[in-house]
Amino acid sequence: MLEHREMKRLARGRAAAPYGPRPRPARPAGIDLLPQIKHIVVLMMENHSYDNYLGMLSGRGDGFPLAPDGQPDVFNDTADGETIRAFPLPSTVQHQGVPSQSWHATHQQWGEGKCDGFVTSAQEVQAEARADTAADPVDTAPETATVGLGYWSERDLPFYYGLARTFPLADRWFSSCLGPTFPNRRFLIAGTARGLIDDSPYDLLDYPPAGTIFDLLTEHGISWADYHPVASGQPQWRHYARHSRKMTGRRLRSAVRALPAVSQGAHKDIQFTADVFPLGIGRYMQHVRGLDQFFADAARGTLPAFSIVDPDFGAYSEENPQDIRKGESFAAEVINRVMHGAGWPHTVLIWVYDEHGGYYDHVPPPPAIPPDDVEGRSAIGSPNALTSCLRVVAPGLVQSKENLNQGPQRYDRYGFRVPAVIVSPYARAGYVCSQTFDHTSVLKLVQEKWNLPALTARDAAARAPLDALDLTGEPAFLKPPVLPEPSLRWGTWQALGLDEHDHPDIRAWSQALRQTGRPIIPELSDDLALSDAAQWSALADGWRTGLTMPDRAVLAADQDRTAASSVREAGSEQVFADLWTGRSAGTVSGTYLTTVAPGGVTLISAAPA
């Protein structure tokens, strides 16, 4: 009912929107022109350039130019004139706030095509942080200014390298604009950023006149979903109400915003891609589903016709300062579940990144067709009455926004290249796609499948990645290939897998797990208790934790279990948990919580008797 009402309102508002032509103008919109494909899945991760991840991929694609010593022949200068060569990063854990992918930093990095601003842009961001005019926290250690020239290789990302070697690799997939996450994700679903040039929540309160691809799919009765990590078992109405409260608070704060700290952390409020146009969230929430539902749908072959799969943006999206191995772990699980699901014979999955994250790429972004006549703007920082007023009462806020948003306010150039692989049983083996793509190529693929009109001039001019597929012959990958294991296996590093943002117990456990690598169970709330026998102490020094064994039976063989077992849906996996008393590994008596996580890993936490 809510979706129907909002679709009628949207239809009135966009009646005069200049739709582009349909791929087959003589045939009706909504018909299926590519019946071999039943499911299109988009897995968009965050903030890495092609060279940063795949620059050292040998024999395929346009990676780093190499010097005779086999290392990248790539250099940038510091502000003092010191020359820095591209180098392998020593850790998979990134640095906070550097490199930067702000509108201003990205244009600096581009440098009118010279791609020479990757170190100086980071140095500028660090200087702003030291002067307390940076919009977000930044690692100001001088040595971290060079990380934008760093890269990872197959040793760090074995699954991604195996994926890029196996399926068609798109080595000219550019982000859609020289800017950060939100504008680029807007291009993915609407073909335009509608003037957005940063990730500020108070600039999100608009809607494209032609709507989004979600609106077109709904209008023509084509199923779609946006899957993202969410507390398992949470009713849809409760999730919608919770999200609506967040959105209402965001809008109220936008009206009286006067402190930079309010905008910090706004990214965490954006929990799924559809939320980058929050004015459509009412009807979108009918299609927003949890990650556990995605895994179930993939297994049964009941994925919708079009779906986006979002990571946890605060934990494993691969944005700094996260450990990139966690994102690879998530992506590997999503891709493997799709490949081994019942719908695999008719699926196309696109693995791609929203933007480059401030990391170096040697290919200058080419010119692009502007999507519309809307230029970049920001409620704070652009010349307007609000900026003038805030300059008096909150000069630091205005300065930080101006720092972020300097540069040309146009969308007439693509952003930097990002990793992209097309995964499908119909994929051409050993193929490299070197045509120019951007995120609106996803829109073009959807439009060419269902004969839908373009939303903007950008997606009207885009190319769909159909050359990566052979839809006429026998599928080359009908039997899914065996890909390398990721550096971290999914389920070996999470807590219970519940949404830690939605439950204080899981939040505390997850925080301890991230900080120490050892799970600590706090006192369980009533709504999370697994058994009446669960009486846990919150005192960390009262625990023996971190026992990990590959087989639960080894630890439980001689134990006298006295508490009932239960099966709980926990995030993306079913987790078997039971409480038992007895001896642990022969030495300590007490009560134990045994959790069998995905992949057969057993986590034990003990409350001594």
What's the confidence (pLDDT) of residue 247? 46
What's the confidence (pLDDT) of residue 286? 87
Span 280-295, average pLDDT: 88
Are residue 464 and residue 548 in the same domain, yes or no? no
More confident residue, 526 or 27: 27
Between CA 76 and CA 85, with CA 79 as vertex, the angle to 5 degrees is 25
Span 214-238, average pLDDT: 80
pLDDT for residue 229 is more than 70: yes
Which of 450, 468, 486 is the last residue before a domain boundary? 468
More confident residue, 224 or 21: 224
| Rounded Cα distance, 607 and 589, in Å | 9
What's the confidence (pLDDT) of residue 494? 64
In a domain, 414, yes or no: yes
Beta bridge partners of 545: 605
Which of 468, 492, 526 is the last residue before a domain boundary? 468
What's the confidence (pLDDT) of residue 333? 97
Are residue 124 and residue 217 in the same domain, yes or no? yes
In a domain, 458, yes or no: yes
pLDDT for residue 291 is more than 90: yes
What's the confidence (pLDDT) of residue 230? 78
> Minimum mean pLDDT among 266-275, 350-359, 439-448, 483-492: which range?
266-275
Q: What is the pLDDT of residues 315-357, one digit of tens each?
A: 999 999 999 999 999 999 999 999 999 999 999 999 999 999 9
pLDDT for residue 583 is more than 60: no
Are residue 232 and residue 377 in the same domain, yes or no? yes
Are residue 200 and residue 141 in the same domain, yes or no? yes
Output the average pLDDT for the chain. 77
pLDDT for residue 607 is more than 90: no
Are residue 463 and residue 517 in the same domain, yes or no? no
In a domain, 488, yes or no: no
What's the confidence (pLDDT) of residue 580? 35
What's the confidence (pLDDT) of residue 78? 98
> Minimum mean pLDDT among 280-284, 386-390, 449-453: which range?
386-390
Q: How far is CA 400 from the centre of its chain?
A: 25
What's the confidence (pLDDT) of residue 205? 80
Give the dihedral of Cα atoms 106, 108, 112, 115; nearest 10 deg: -80
Span 368-382, average pLDDT: 81
> Minimum mean pLDDT among 473-477, 508-512, 580-584, 596-600: which range?
580-584
> Which residue segment(s) compose the domain that 288 sits in?
2-17+37-468
Span 421-428, average pLDDT: 98
Between CA 91 and CA 95, with CA 93 as vertex, the angle to 5 degrees is 105
What's the confidence (pLDDT) of residue 133? 81
> Minimum mean pLDDT among 78-87, 130-139, 479-488, 525-534: which range?
525-534
The secondary structure of 496-507 as a DSSP string is SSS-TTS-HHHH
Span 290-308, average pLDDT: 97
Which of 448, 468, 488 is the last residue before a domain boundary? 468
In a domain, 230, yes or no: yes
Are residue 341 and residue 464 in the same domain, yes or no? yes
The secondary structure element, H or E, covering residue 179 is: none
What's the confidence (pLDDT) of residue 572? 31
Q: What is the pLDDT of residues 477-491, one digit of tens each?
A: 999 999 999 999 998
| Rounded Cα distance, 500 and 550, in Å | 25
Are residue 443 and residue 517 in the same domain, yes or no? no
What's the confidence (pLDDT) of residue 429? 94
Percentage of the chain exceeding pLDDT 70: 66
Confidence of residue 368 (pLDDT cuts 50, 70, 90): very high
pLDDT for residue 171 is more than 90: yes
> Minimum mean pLDDT among 14-18, 99-103, 294-298, 474-478: which range?
14-18
132 conformational bin, left if phi > 0, alpha if psi -120 to 50, beta if neither? left
Are residue 521 and residue 454 in the same domain, yes or no? no
What's the confidence (pLDDT) of residue 378? 65
More confident residue, 553 or 58: 58
In a domain, 493, yes or no: no
Q: What is the pLDDT of residues 8-61, one digit of tens each?
A: 656 555 555 666 789 999 999 999 999 999 999 999 999 999 999 999 999 999
What's the confidence (pLDDT) of residue 255? 38
> Minimum mean pLDDT among 65-79, 194-208, 312-326, 441-455: which range?
194-208
Span 431-455, average pLDDT: 98
Which pair of tokens denotes residue 6?
Answer: 């909002």
More confident residue, 489 or 279: 489
Between CA 192 and CA 306, with CA 49 as vertex, the angle to 5 degrees is 50
In a domain, 117, yes or no: yes
- The structure's pTM equals 0.77
Are residue 453 and residue 589 in the same domain, yes or no? no
What's the confidence (pLDDT) of residue 588? 32
Are residue 160 and residue 308 in the same domain, yes or no? yes
Span 394-402, average pLDDT: 53
The secondary structure element, H or E, covering residue 512 is: helix 504-516
pLDDT for residue 131 is more than 60: yes
What's the confidence (pLDDT) of residue 384? 63
What's the confidence (pLDDT) of residue 14? 54
Beta bridge partners of 39: 347
In a domain, 31, yes or no: no
What's the confidence (pLDDT) of residue 576? 35
In this structure, what CATH number is given to the domain that contains residue 280? 3.40.720.10
In a domain, 22, yes or no: no
DSSP state at residue 83:
E
In terms of Cα–Cα distance, which of 168, 167, 169, 153 is closest to 482? 167
| Rounded Cα distance, 486 and 488, in Å | 5
What's the confidence (pLDDT) of residue 279? 81
Q: 39-45 and 347-353 as β-strands: parallel, antiparallel, unpaired?
A: parallel
In terms of Cα–Cα distance, which of 259, 215, 150 is closest to 17? 215
Between CA 168 and CA 445, with CA 215 as vertex, the angle to 5 degrees is 20
What's the confidence (pLDDT) of residue 256? 40
More confident residue, 145 or 582: 145
Are residue 59 and residue 130 in the same domain, yes or no? yes
What's the confidence (pLDDT) of residue 388? 55
Count of the separate structural domains present in the chain = 2
Are residue 445 and residue 528 in the same domain, yes or no? no
DSSP state at residue 158:
H
Q: What is the pLDDT of residues 302-312, one digit of tens each?
A: 999 999 999 99
pLDDT for residue 228 is more than 50: yes
